[in-house]
Amino acid sequence: SQGYEILGVSPDSVKKHVKFQDKYSLPFSLLADEDHKVAESYGVWGEKKFMGRAYMGILRTTFVIDGDGKIERIISKVDTENHAEQLLG
């Protein structure tokens, strides 16, 4: 992780996060943002569309934040299959 800490944040409940983390053996923590205040503050809570239906949800985004809390990099078009390469590239 080259000195970085990895955290996942979503509006799912703590209970759902625990199940997901156990199912996929994630090596990092998941944080529950059930009221989506964190997502809103980072500008990643917005309108999504699926099968012609619009709804509000998380706009999947990765933020690389330095030790001083400054955003170093934003990846807004996250490719879940190749995300490690996106981060390292």
In the chain, % of residues over pLDDT 70: 98
Q: Which pLDDT does position 41 carry in this prediction?
A: 96
CATH of segment(s) 7-88: 3.40.30.10
Q: Which parts of the chain register pLDDT below 50? A: none
Q: Which pLDDT does position 83 carry in this prediction?
A: 86
Q: Which pLDDT does position 73 carry in this prediction?
A: 92
Write down the domain spans for the chain.
7-88
Question: How would DSSP label each residue in 30-61?
Answer: EEE-TT-HHHHHTT-EEEEEETTEEEEEE---
Q: Which pLDDT does position 2 carry in this prediction?
A: 67
Q: Which pLDDT does position 32 carry in this prediction?
A: 97
Q: Which pLDDT does position 88 carry in this prediction?
A: 82
Cβ atoms within 10 Å of 46's Cβ, excluding its own: 11
Tokens at 39, concatenated: 């997502």
Compute the 3-state secondary structure of the chain and give helix, strand, coil in percent, each to the nearest 5. 25, 35, 45
Task: State the pTM of this model.
Answer: 0.80
